[in-house]
């Protein structure tokens, strides 16, 4: 790129503005597996910012399942509709459907691809999308790309959803679709799922929920947010394999017709190379562990309680979350960076989350817990956090 070109000028100015606002982002390099204990940028630390809620990302059984499947090859070679649909993909879809009690499941390469594929494939100009304002970026972008009339609704406010539905009235043409995360990724709070289901039924609407941070973790069997609340699955259920399952990819669960429609019209599925069969094999293994080892969820719950009780004793005010996502809102981006850096110097990696990921003036430490954290590690984090807050 020539120096002084219009593109170079735009990029340089934009990067300078990002740095000046303390919003510049950097990658850190991890050597080896992604577990609680990491080697990051050449130094050892304890990981408190991963979504690996059950510790399966570094479980040797999951790795061995992938390794065995790799003996047959690496990539899938094409999209699923061409020649990329492997027996491992089919088995995983069938086992996920059985686990959830859903008619069918369709695998996607990522949660982003799943949400974009559903929303863009399903919605058109005559349709109405009512979405929680703090939904994941993939739901936001999918809604914007769908051509539907997009309505942002106040966060976790069932009354606000009802007001929008009432305003549309029975005369509204097209499909009315309510869309929400279940567990919100930056706050750890829960959507009013029972109320949203009632509203959808009352107003002739459909409900789509992304349960990325609930699947595998919540509910007696780990089936997610809807099991935890004693509710049937929504019309469109999305979850990921990259969090509690410790693997990669995502899936959509729903009716026979929904899955068949997505096979025909979800562009992010139709035109994407199918995930490697070894990833599906690893995910199948992880699903089996979730089904057979409920003690992992019990330990995660104990770790959440220990962190929250310890924080309260130290006067550290965490967000109102009972999930593995425990935010500590600090407000200013600069202070958030300083506290995160101070923790890293003490051997604890806690991500500092800043705009545009979260709203302006709500920068935070996003503390996440795993079933494989020990009591001593959690206590050590709390001690380091108290010291870092005083100095930062």
In this predicted structure, what is the pLDDT of residue 173? 85
CATH of domain 60-292: 3.40.640.10
213 is in an annotated binding site: yes
Phi, psi (degrees; rounded to nearest 5) at 288 = -65, -40
pLDDT-derived band of residue 247, with 50, 70 and 90 as boundaries? very high
pLDDT in tens, 369-380: 999 999 999 999
Same fold, 28-58+294-391 and 60-292: no
* Mean pLDDT across 283-311: 98
pLDDT in tens, 188-203: 999 999 999 999 999 9
* Mean pLDDT across 104-119: 98
Percent of the chain with pLDDT strictly greater than 70:
99
pLDDT-derived band of residue 350, with 50, 70 and 90 as boundaries? very high
- Report long-range pairs for 294-300 (Cβ below 8 Å, ≥24 apart): 294/220, 294/221, 294/222, 296/54, 296/55, 296/371, 297/54, 297/217, 297/222, 297/371, 299/371, 299/372, 300/53, 300/54, 300/217, 300/324, 300/369, 300/370, 300/371
CA 392 – CA 385 distance, rounded (Å): 10
Phi, psi (degrees; rounded to nearest 5) at 19 = -65, -45
* Mean pLDDT across 302-314: 98
Looking at domain 28-58+294-391, which CATH architecture does it have?
Alpha-Beta Complex (3.90)
Q: Where are the domains of the chain?
A: 28-58+294-391, 60-292
203 is in an annotated binding site: no
* Mean pLDDT across 54-63: 97
Q: Which residue has the higher pLDDT, 312 or 170?
A: 312
* Mean pLDDT across 75-81: 96
CA 265 – CA 267 distance, rounded (Å): 6
State the chain's mean pLDDT as an integer.
96
In this predicted structure, what is the pLDDT of residue 392? 61
In this predicted structure, what is the pLDDT of residue 232? 98
84 secondary structure, DSSP code:
I
* Mean pLDDT across 6-27: 93
* Mean pLDDT across 300-308: 98
Percent of the chain with pLDDT strictly greater than 90:
94
CA 336 – CA 386 distance, rounded (Å): 14
**CA angle (120 as vertex; 227, 266 as ends), nearest 5:** 80
368 is in an annotated binding site: no
In this predicted structure, what is the pLDDT of residue 32? 87
In this predicted structure, what is the pLDDT of residue 117? 98
Residues found in the chain:
392
In this predicted structure, what is the pLDDT of residue 309? 98
pLDDT-derived band of residue 1, with 50, 70 and 90 as boundaries? low
CA 140 – CA 180 distance, rounded (Å): 10
| Of 93, 99, 52, 89, nearest in space to 69 by CA | 89
Residue 170 pLDDT > 90: no
CA 248 – CA 282 distance, rounded (Å): 9
Catalytic residues: 185, 213, 243
Residue 298 pLDDT > 90: yes
In this predicted structure, what is the pLDDT of residue 4? 77
């Amino acid at each position: 790129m020539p120096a002084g070109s219009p593109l170079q000028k735009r990029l340089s100015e934009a990067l300078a503005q990002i740095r000046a606002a303390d919003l510049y982002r950097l990658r850190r390099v991890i050597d080896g597996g992604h577990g609680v204990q990491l080697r990051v940028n050449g130094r050892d630390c304890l990981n408190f910012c991963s979504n690996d809620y059950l510790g399966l990302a570094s479980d040797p059984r999951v790795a061995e399942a992938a390794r065995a499947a790799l003996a047959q090859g690496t990539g899938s070679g094409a999209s699923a509709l061409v020649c990329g649909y492997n027996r491992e993909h089919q088995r995983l879809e069938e086992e996920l459907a059985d686990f959830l009690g859903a008619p069918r499941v369709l695998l996607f390469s990522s949660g982003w691809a799943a949400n974009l594929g559903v929303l863009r494939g399903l919605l058109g100009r005559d349709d109405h999308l009512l979405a929680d304002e703090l939904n994941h970026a993939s739901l936001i972008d999918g809604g914007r790309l769908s051509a539907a009339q997009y309505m942002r609704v106040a966060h976790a406010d069932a009354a606000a959803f009802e007001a929008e539905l009432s305003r549309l009235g029975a005369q509204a043409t097209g499909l009315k679709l309510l869309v929400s995360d279940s567990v919100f990724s930056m706050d750890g709070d829960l959507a009013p799922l029972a109320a949203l289901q009632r509203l959808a039924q009352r107003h002739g609407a459909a409900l789509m929920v992304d349960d990325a941070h609930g699947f595998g973790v919540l509910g007696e069997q780990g089936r997610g947010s809807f099991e935890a609340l004693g509710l049937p699955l929504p019309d469109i259920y999305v979850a990921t394999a990259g969090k509690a399952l410790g693997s990669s990819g995502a899936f959509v669960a729903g009716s026979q017709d929904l899955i068949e429609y997505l096979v025909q019209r979800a562009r992010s599925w139709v035109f994407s190379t199918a995930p490697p069969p070894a990833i599906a094999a690893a995910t199948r293994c992880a699903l089996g562990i979730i089904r057979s080892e409920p003690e992992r969820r019990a330990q995660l719950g104990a770790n959440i309680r220990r962190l929250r009780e310890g924080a309260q004793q130290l006067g550290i005010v965490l967000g109102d979350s009972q999930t593995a996502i425990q935010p500590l809102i600090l407000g200013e981006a600069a202070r958030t960076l300083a506290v995160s850096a101070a923790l890293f110097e003490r051997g604890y990696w806690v991500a500092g989350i800043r705009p545009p990921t979260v709203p302006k003036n709500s920068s935070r430490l996003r503390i996440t817990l795993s079933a494989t954290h020990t009591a001593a590690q959690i206590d050590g984090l709390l001690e380091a956090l108290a010291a870092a807050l005083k100095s930062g």
